Amino acid sequence: MSKNFTLDTASLISPDISSNHTPSTPLKLGIMASGNGSNFEAVAQAIQAGQLNAQIQVLIYNNPEAKAAVRATNWGVEAVLLNHRDYKSRAKFDGQVVQTLQQYDVEWVILAGWMRLLTPVLIDAFADKIINIHPSLLPSFKGIHAVEQALAAGVKITGCTVHLVCLEVDSGPILMQAAVPVLPDDTAETLHARIQIQEHRILPQAIALAAQRQLQLTSKG
């Protein structure tokens, strides 16, 4: 006899981590964004609310139209435009990114909707200290249009992932994930909007977690 099976999606969502994951010294963040910047906003709000002990040293954006720049200015964070079109190669562009991050004394780099592939120039300069947020449950649906990919595949659950960045796209060690059910009438827009609610919740927590882990590794020598 078959039973009706109801999936308890709430139990799939990453639990909130306790505040003792918040490091005692403020983390110096450099945020990189190409678009709307709602994740920038979520990090800024978490800092203001005392949920993440950090300060945003700079926002780097590569698209002159990025709303993230307006958000940064509203938060009193310096927004630096580095337009990739002005550089001859990805490596040269990343070289300028690294220089800017160093100039602003950045310790952790947060890719919050950064729509450029990274080269070893940037990855090696901030080894294990670059964090990305991606709108799917990795390793499913890597790359662009992850929400559309999930809809096309007909999955019933998708979500978001915060992970450390390595050279292979959307593939580094996973820090946190949150699950989001796909509803029958979902469009890419409605589904992405619900995924973003979870992104805003877990990104600040995952930053704290990454810093905490790094601290534990360092103190173990």
Give the one residue of 21, 22, 30, 38 binding ligand GRF; rule: CB under 6 A.
38
CA distances from 47 to 35, 70, 129, 209 (A): 21, 18, 19, 14
Is residue 163 close enough to count as binding ligand GRF by CB under 6 A?
Answer: no
Burial of 121 (0-12, 13-18, 19+ CB in 10 A): middle
Q: Which stretch binds ligand GRF (CB under 6 A): 70-78, 80-88, 99-107, 129-137?
A: 129-137
With H, G, I as helix, E, B as strand and everything else as coil, classify residue 55: strand
Question: Which residue in 21, 134, 192, 200 is the catalytic one?
Answer: 134
With CB atoms as reference, the residue minimizing the distance to ligand GRF is 113
Whether 163 is a known active-site residue: answer no
Within 70-109, the residues that bind ligand GRF by CB under 6 A are none
Choice between 35 and 211, CB closer to ligand GRF: 35
- Around 171, how many Cα atoms within 13 Å sit in the side-chain half-sphere? 6
Identify residue 213 by its one-letter amino acid code.
Answer: R
* 172 is an interface residue for ligand GRF by CB under 6 A: no
Give the DSSP H or E segment for 4: none
- Contacting residues toward ligand GRF, per CB under 6 A: 33, 35-39, 112-113, 133-135, 160, 196, 199
Active site residues: 134
